[in-house]
Amino acid sequence: MKTLAVRIHGANDLRLESFELPPVGDDEILARVVSDSLCMSSHKLAVLGDRHKRVRANLTAAPAIIGHECCGIIEETGFVWKDRFKKGDRFAIQPAVIVDNGDGTSSHWALGYSYSYAGGDATWILLPGELIKNGCLLKSGADNFYSASLAEPVSCVIGAFHAQYHTSEGSYQHRMGPREGGSMALLAGVGPMGLGAIDYALHGPRRPARLIVTDINEARLERARRLLPPEKAAEEGIELCYVNTGNLGDPAQRLKDLNRGKPFDDVFVFAPLRELIELGDKLLGRDGCLNFFAGPTDTALEAALNFYQVHYDSHHIVGTSGGNVADMEEGLTLMAQGKINPVFMITHVGGLDAVPSATLNLPRIPGGKKLIYTHKKLELSAIDDFAEKGKKEPFFARLAELCDKTQGLWNREAEDYLLTHAPDIGAPDIPDTNEGSIS
């Protein structure tokens, strides 16, 4: 059968194209993708092309389907998985997989980077056995698709928090996770991933007593205050403060003042900027842990760190690139329990036809997550623009009404309406998308 997908053929070369999928192998699964959330990591892949570490083969000869924050419905299972997965199961995917090369080495591949027939920005995909065998295919119990698409970025946040560690003087034991009841700073922390980190810090298993969140964009800060207000944090016993550091002469001192004159236990850096890394270093207290969360495209990115403090005050520096299966399972559980709600990450929706341009221009498109419905043809549109577009297009007017019910946030009713009423993108020989309703 044929699929329609966005594939990368090289640096800055993304193409929406139709091509044939091979038959389902005994250890493979045919799946219908419903939604995929665009990630800045896919933009980095688009820019780097073959130079990206997770590209498996020469892209000119073997283009890869992009996108890795996807979910959908299982359509056909190979013999190996017939008792574990069934047609109609909804799924989420933890995209990163470690493959044993059989010679004592291993390779780190990922959905959306390494496979010609599997990726999030496609209508139909063929999931490889090595990914399923490593537990990366997870069932989703959500009554919507967008939550499962957000499970991957949520797992990245959870993984970053799990990577934090602290010690005690005289002991070499590492206690994993942020310091419970301590102080935490999230620098450049009101983007989509930063918002997820705030949510997890407030409602996850290990919570700080004081959480300071910074940015230099007042509009983004104000949105964060509205979605995750300090008043609600106080009900959880956490002091939450948002700070615009754009015009502060000495931001390090100001942030310490807000922390009652003390440095911080845990600091996360959400933008790959030298000055931000160095600010994070200045904020660390004894046994403090700095997490460089932002993935840079600059392979020569450097920053000055105080190694006197590394030696005498036991400063730690960690970094993660994605989560693992356990992180994603934790995220899906917390979402199912209603403890975290990552829907506020979503600021735009669109169809598969919007993916190439949106991915290449992602840093220049304001807002948070761009959610793609892969069987639909739809221009990328901000939720905030629905009402204005609705003056000419009834489709957007209805979406505006549905999102107004949830204070401007995407929701199941809006998703159901889009899946029912947005035009199908269509492609030769692709089965009718209404077969086995996805709405």
pTM of the predicted protein model? 0.88
Examine the fold and report which residue of 313, 342, 362 is the final residue of a domain before the chain moves on. Answer: 313
Averaged pLDDT, 106-133: 95
For residue 345, the enclosing domain spans 2-153+325-421
Are 193 and 38 spatial neighbours (Cβ–Cβ below 8 Å)?
A: no
pLDDT band at 237 (very low <50, low <70, confident <90, very high): very high
Averaged pLDDT, 374-378: 97
280 and 336 co-located in one domain: no
Q: 403 in a domain, yes or no?
A: yes
Which pLDDT score, from 0 to 100, does residue 433 have? 35
- Phi-psi domain of 431 (left: phi exceeds 0; alpha: psi -120 through 50; beta: other): beta
148 and 183 co-located in one domain: no
CA dist 177 to 100, 266, 314, 329, 363, Å? 28, 9, 16, 17, 30
Q: 415 in a domain, yes or no?
A: yes
pLDDT band at 434 (very low <50, low <70, confident <90, very high): very low
331 and 222 co-located in one domain: no
Is 12 buried (19+), middle (13-18) or exposed (0-12) by CB count in 10 A? Answer: exposed
Per-state percent for the chain, helix, strand, coil, to nearest 5: 35, 25, 40
Domains: count for the chain: 2
Q: 189 in a domain, yes or no?
A: yes
360 and 268 co-located in one domain: no
Domain of 296, CATH number, reads 3.40.50.720
Q: Which of 341-350, 387-396, 430-439 has the lowest mean pLDDT?
A: 430-439
14 and 39 co-located in one domain: yes
Which pLDDT score, from 0 to 100, does residue 137 have? 95
Are 51 and 32 spatial neighbours (Cβ–Cβ below 8 Å)?
A: no
Percent of the chain with pLDDT over 90: 86
Distance CA 68, CA 263 (A): 37
Torsion angles phi and psi, residue 165, rounded to 5? -150, 155
**DSSP characters over 212-279:** EEEES-HHHHHHHHHHS-HHHHHHTT-EEEEEE-TT-SSHHHHHHHHTTT--EEEEEE-S--HHHHHH
Averaged pLDDT, 68-92: 95
212 and 267 co-located in one domain: yes
Domain of 136, CATH number, reads 3.90.180.10
80 and 126 co-located in one domain: yes
Examine the fold and report which residue of 313, 335, 352 is the final residue of a domain before the chain moves on. Answer: 313
Q: 57 in a domain, yes or no?
A: yes
Averaged pLDDT, 149-159: 94
Q: 427 in a domain, yes or no?
A: no
Which pLDDT score, from 0 to 100, does residue 321 have? 79
For the record, the structure tokens of 4 come out as: 């329609």
284-336 pLDDT, tens digit per residue, is 999 999 999 988 878 899 999 999 999 999 999 999 878 889 999 999 999 98
Which pLDDT score, from 0 to 100, does residue 105 have? 87
Are 240 and 201 spatial neighbours (Cβ–Cβ below 8 Å)?
A: no
Q: 141 in a domain, yes or no?
A: yes
42 and 104 co-located in one domain: yes
205 and 281 co-located in one domain: yes
306 and 393 co-located in one domain: no
Q: 428 in a domain, yes or no?
A: no
Q: 181 in a domain, yes or no?
A: yes
Which pLDDT score, from 0 to 100, does residue 106 have? 87
302 and 333 co-located in one domain: no
174 and 280 co-located in one domain: yes
pLDDT band at 437 (very low <50, low <70, confident <90, very high): very low
